[in-house]
């Protein structure tokens, strides 16, 4: 129940469940289609109930949780699960073995489920009964038996389809069944344990519109293809071979870097003709900050330079008042409530040039937007974001969370960081130094002199204002005369970025304090355990989880900045590389728990540091992948 698999289709849609096929989340399903892509997600096909019939004896392969019962108990017949590269389930019943494969077709809302009998029948007869269970709902909600559900089933040769609600797409099933029974019924009161633990609605009814019966013969697969497209799909074997070829040779690499390269592919999706990054599965959309932090690992480290260019172009095109979007809503509208996403964008541009040496692309397509962005920040833009008289970047409106520590419960901002957050200053200094470098490269001497002046003023003010001599590290936020001495990981960015404001002595002290209080086997804690506000476990209802989100929870993505800071302090030596390699061993085991082959969003601050949140998070994968590749 705790191990989950994930298939994605490059549109924001996905298929996902547990390795025993029992849905434990309302977000699980065999076909969760993005309509429109990438975040208008709909759970269309929840699962398929499967019965293997051998000489009239029925063997139930499915597993579900109902009130007070697990039924059927198909997991007792299951002999294995693997990613090869798709999810493959194996069963043994009545002396026969059956293998099931599930995969999505890239660029389509189409899932292929295939079954193959292994071994010999020895004169027996075998058949497979398949009963699809459909939900037809937004993926954040749940379905309940209702009179508005249109159960009409339509069919033509080899295809059967239904459209329960006019506003939702029809679902077409292409099949190889010898028998089709269109008698349908409701299955009531499925329970989703993960939602129960999260304090959310965890009970759902699903509708079974028909039953397919397929005769089985050894070595001859039978398949069901469920799709929102009415067009006849290619043969299952052709679709499978195409998907294997698309995923390429890296699918067979057993290394941590190979596994994470496969994982990286699942976050890169299309929206309205351009590319974007899904921040996490199952429930995140595309966020500007997450995209820019993840871009170097997801694209540049994996040789996808062209995709990096497309991502940079689309966010430049959506820049408003000097800011890139914080996120795109499910309607496609852009929201700009972020102080740091644009600074991460400039760092992503720097990383792009460092990886590709393609400064010509930046000059032709991005430099004007970057200059305009810095100008907006200097004179002031939305949410009170502006450069203060001391040269540092300040911002914040009451009740609006602008930094990555953005948890909010109703009107309560859990970690209010109005004023001058430490990582924003590190990013601001880095950004103006990047612009200074670009200006020099492009012969913009006046611009270079201006950016140099801004950087010098910021550095002088930062080193005086942010040094916490009592704790031998940096303050987290300065607002007026108030200095927040919370020991948080944000200060590590003052060491990890290309351009650094700290001298060697201060840098070593900061790194030592972060290592002592915040480093865990899976990333950095968001708050020191010595702080009375520390919350070591991320669990229970929504309020409890949100109030723990940045109060001790471990974030894997921060390990990238931490070890880049380590290299700056201790050098890129053989010893440093050995320390990083030893730490990365923790993730070899993690890839076999929670989201298989993926890196979780967060972990508990307290041992044993259980994985929490999304089972697959873009910036977690990107930063661990960069480390695994030696970046």
User: Is the confidence at residue 252, as pLDDT, over 70?
Assistant: no
* C-alpha to C-alpha distance for 142 and 531, rounded to whole angstroms: 39
Question: What mean pLDDT comes out for the span 313-332?
Answer: 91
Enter the tokens of residue 282.
């199952």
Look at residue 375 in the predicted model and tell me its pLDDT: 98
Look at residue 260 in the predicted model and tell me its pLDDT: 95
Beta bridge partners of 8: 14
Residues written for the chain = 631
pLDDT cut 70: percent of the chain above it: 99
User: Is the confidence at residue 531, as pLDDT, over 70?
Assistant: yes
pLDDT in tens, 533-590: 999 999 988 888 988 999 999 999 999 999 999 999 999 999 999 999 999 999 999 9
User: Is the confidence at residue 416, as pLDDT, over 90?
Assistant: no
Burial per residue of 296-317, b for 16 or more beta-carbon CB atoms within 10 angstroms, e otherwise: bbbbbbbebeebbbbbbbbbbe
Look at residue 249 in the predicted model and tell me its pLDDT: 66
Of the pLDDT bands very low, low, confident and very high (cuts 50, 70, 90), residue 195 is very high
Q: 590 with 611: CB under 8 angstroms?
A: yes
For the CA atoms of the chain, what is the radius of gyration? 26
| Alpha helices per DSSP H over 335-490 | 341-356, 359-365, 367-379, 422-441, 445-465
Which DSSP symbol is given to 299?
I
Relative orientation angle of helices 618-628 and 559-570, to the nearest 10 degrees: 30
User: Is the confidence at residue 168, as pLDDT, over 80?
Assistant: yes
Burial per residue of 388-402, b for 16 or more beta-carbon CB atoms within 10 angstroms, e otherwise: eeebbbbbbeeebbb
Strands (E), 94-149: 96-104, 110-118, 126-138
CA dihedral 517, 521, 524, 526 (to 10 degrees): -80
Look at residue 251 in the predicted model and tell me its pLDDT: 58
User: Is the confidence at residue 254, as pLDDT, over 90?
Assistant: no
Look at residue 488 in the predicted model and tell me its pLDDT: 98
User: Is the confidence at residue 398, as pLDDT, over 90?
Assistant: no
Question: What mean pLDDT comes out for the span 381-391?
Answer: 96
Arithmetic mean of pLDDT over the chain: 95
Look at residue 253 in the predicted model and tell me its pLDDT: 67
Look at residue 530 in the predicted model and tell me its pLDDT: 97
Look at residue 208 in the predicted model and tell me its pLDDT: 98
Look at residue 396 in the predicted model and tell me its pLDDT: 87
Question: What mean pLDDT comes out for the span 409-421?
Answer: 86
Look at residue 250 in the predicted model and tell me its pLDDT: 60
pLDDT in tens, 362-376: 999 999 999 999 999
Look at residue 543 in the predicted model and tell me its pLDDT: 85
pLDDT in tens, 484-496: 999 999 999 999 9
pTM of the model: 0.95
Residue ranges and CATH numbers for the domains of the chain are: 4-246 (2.70.98), 249-628 (1.50.10.10)
Phi, psi of 236 (to 5 degrees): -50, -40
Residues 6+ apart with CB under 8 A from 404: 289, 340, 423
Q: Is 452 helix (H, G, I), strand (E, B) or coil?
A: helix
Look at residue 358 in the predicted model and tell me its pLDDT: 97
DSSP string, 20-47: TS---STT-EEEEEESSTTT-EEEEEEE
Question: CB count, 10 Å around CB of 579?
Answer: 14
Phi, psi of 615 (to 5 degrees): -80, -10
Angle at Cα 32 formed by Cα 29 and Cα 33, nearest 5°?
A: 165
Which DSSP symbol is given to 94?
T
* C-alpha to C-alpha distance for 412 and 427, rounded to whole angstroms: 26
SS (H, E, C) 270-298: EECCEEEECCEECCCCCEHHHHHHHHHHH
CA proximity to 93, closest of 65, 51, 48, 49 = 51
- Indicate if the alpha-carbon torsion angle 465, 471, 476, 477 is positive or negative: negative
Enter the tokens of residue 145.
């038996």
Q: How far is CA 136 from CA 152, 155, 167, 187, 344, in A?
A: 14, 19, 10, 14, 38
CA 14 to chain centre: 12
Give the DSSP H/E element, type plus range, for residue 527.
none
Q: State the number of CA atoms in the 13 A half-sphere of 577 facing the CB.
A: 7
Look at residue 4 in the predicted model and tell me its pLDDT: 98
Phi, psi of 420 (to 5 degrees): -125, 90
Which DSSP symbol is given to 105?
P
* C-alpha to C-alpha distance for 428 and 446, rounded to whole angstroms: 20
CA 325 to chain centre: 18
pLDDT in tens, 66-89: 999 999 999 999 999 999 999 999
Question: What mean pLDDT comes out for the span 156-183?
Answer: 96
């Amino acid at each position: 129940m705790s191990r989950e698999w994930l298939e994605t289709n490059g549109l924001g849609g996905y298929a996902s469940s547990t390795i025993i096929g029992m849905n434990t989340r309302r977000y699980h399903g065999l076909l969760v289609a993005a309509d429109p892509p990438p975040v208008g997600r709909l759970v269309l096909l929840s699962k398929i109930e499967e019965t293997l019939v051998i000489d009239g004896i029925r063997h139930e392969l499915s597993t579900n949780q109902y009130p007070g019962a697990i039924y059927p108990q198909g997991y007792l017949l299951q002999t294995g699960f693997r990613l090869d590269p798709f999810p493959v389930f194996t069963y043994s019943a009545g002396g026969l073995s059956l293998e099931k494969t599930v995969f999505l077709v890239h660029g389509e809302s189409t899932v292929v489920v295939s079954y193959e009998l292994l071994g010999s029948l020895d004169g027996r007869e075998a058949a497979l009964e398949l009963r699809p269970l459909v939900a037809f709902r937004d993926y954040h909600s749940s379905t309940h038996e209702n009179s508005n559900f249109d159960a009409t089933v339509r069919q033509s040769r080899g295809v059967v389809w239904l459209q329960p609600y006019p506003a939702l797409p029809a679902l077409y099933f292409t099949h190889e069944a010898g028998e089709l029974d269109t008698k349908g019924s409701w299955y009531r009161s499925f329970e989703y344990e993960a939602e129960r633990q999260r304090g959310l609605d965890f009970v759902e009814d699903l509708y079974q519109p028909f039953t397919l019966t397929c005769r089985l013969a050894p070595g001859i697969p039978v398949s069901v293809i469920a799709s929102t497209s009415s067009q006849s799909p290619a043969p299952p074997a052709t679709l499978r071979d195409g998907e294997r070829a698309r995923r390429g040779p890296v699918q067979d690499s057993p290394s941590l870097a190979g596994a994470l390269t496969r994982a990286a592919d699942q976050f890169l999706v299309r929206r309205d003709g351009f590319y974007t990054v899904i921040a996490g599965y199952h429930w995140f959309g595309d966020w500007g900050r997450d995209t820019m932090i993840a871009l170097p690992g997801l694209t540049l480290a994996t040789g996808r330079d062209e995709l990096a260019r497309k991502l940079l172009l689309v966010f430049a095109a959506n820049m408003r008042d000097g800011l890139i979007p914080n996120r795109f809503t499910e309607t496609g509208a852009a929201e700009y409530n972020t102080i740091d996403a644009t600074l991460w964008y400039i760092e992503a541009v720097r990383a792009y040039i460092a990886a590709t040496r393609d400064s010509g692309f930046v000059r032709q397509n991005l430099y004007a937007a970057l200059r305009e962005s810095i100008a907006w920040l200097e004179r002031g833009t939305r949410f009170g974001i502006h450069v203060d008289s001391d040269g540092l970047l300040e911002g914040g409106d009451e009740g609006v969370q602008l930094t990555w520590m953005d948890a909010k419960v109703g009107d309560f901002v859990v970690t209010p960081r109005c004023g001058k957050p430490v990582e924003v200053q590190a990013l601001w200094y880095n950004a103006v130094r990047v612009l200074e470098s670009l200006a020099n490269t492009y012969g913009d001497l006046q611009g270079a002199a201006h950016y140099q002046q801004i950087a010098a003023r910021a550095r002088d003010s930062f080193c005086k204002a942010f040094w916490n001599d009592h704790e031998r590290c940096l303050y987290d936020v300065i607002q007026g005369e108030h200095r927040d001495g919370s020991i948080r990981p944000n200060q590590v960015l003052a060491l990890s970025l290309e351009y650094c404001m700290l001298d060697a002595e201060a840098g070593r002290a900061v790194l030592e304090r972060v290592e002592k209080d915040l480093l865990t086997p899976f990333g950095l804690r968001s708050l020191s355990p010595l702080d009375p506000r520390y919350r070591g476990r991320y669990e229970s209802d929504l309020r409890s989880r949100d109030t723990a989100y940045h109060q001790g929870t471990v974030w894997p993505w921060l390990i990238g900045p931490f070890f880049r800071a380590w290299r700056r302090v201790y050098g890129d030596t053989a010893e440093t590389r050995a320390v990083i390699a030893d730490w990365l061993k923790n993730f070899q085991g993690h890839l076999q728990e929670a989201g298989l082959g993926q890196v979780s969003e967060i972990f508990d601050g307290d041992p044993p540091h259980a994985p929490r949140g999304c089972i697959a998070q873009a910036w977690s994968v990107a930063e661990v992948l960069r480390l695994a590749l030696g970046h």
